[in-house]
Amino acid sequence: MSVVTYEKKGRICYITLNRPEKLNTVSRRLAQELLARLQEFDSDENLWVCIITGTGERSFSAGVDLTDAPNIVKPGQWEANYVRGLTSVSKPLIAAVNGYCLGIGLTIALACDLRIAAAGAHFGTPDQKLNTVDCYASLALASLVPKAMAMEILFTGEMIDASEAYRIGLVNKVVPLENLISEAEAVAGKILENGPLALQACKTLVNRSKALSLEDGLLLFESLAERVLASEDTREGITAFLEKRSPVWKGR
């Protein structure tokens, strides 16, 4: 049985972490399959948005699988490569978080562009309780929530619940568990109303903006905008606006 399932419905891709008996903890095999499925999604011209979730009601992913022997082989290197793979996806990613979202499982949610949480979800980085280092939370959390809150989460290793995650801006919405996927699909539907090339350009600009000066950011914008504005989709978007109809995007 695959530890990561992959499904397509229209323009939406569904990736599900599938180790419910282990709370969807990340084994080396799961990490490899997840990155492979994300690359498949990113290279498929017919898919424009991806929803990532976990099997079952208890856990999105409760972190690394400490019983998985391959995980102890060069752990720093494999986690860094795991983060590189998660953050290299150019298209919109939505995390639909059910239950525990901890450690290297939280990394998956942080690498997504939007996070929707079930009411019973919990977030945290317990790595420090084992004297290990949470790679991506340490790098990215303070850019998503106030620094003091990020440091509290990192320093205490304690979990926060969905309502607190929403209060500090870590998640976009909190919904009942039974509405989690339908709400993620509703958000994906709104995303699909917009030009896919423009969305990819926006994601690139946002993700790279922290490391760029304003002038370098403007140069990046010029190079991205030139391709987007010359596309068939831009002509379609303008024509549809003038004709007062919904555009038909082709991703080119």
Q: Per the structure block, which two tokens stand in for 185?
A: 């699909």
pTM: 0.91
pLDDT tens per residue, range 62-120: 988 888 766 666 666 778 888 899 999 999 999 999 999 999 999 999 999 999 999 99
Domains and CATH numbers, the chain: 4-192 (3.90.226.10), 196-242 (1.10.12)
Helices (H), 157-231: 162-167, 180-192, 196-209, 214-229
* Pairing label, strands 4-9, 12-17: antiparallel
Contact at 8 Å (CB) between 65 and 26?
Answer: yes
pLDDT at residue 171, as a whole number? 97
Phi, psi of 47 (to 5 degrees): -110, 130
pLDDT at residue 69, as a whole number? 64
Distance CA(70)–CA(175), nearest Å, equals 36
pLDDT tens per residue, range 33-56: 999 999 999 999 999 999 999 999
13-26: average pLDDT:
95
153-173: average pLDDT:
95
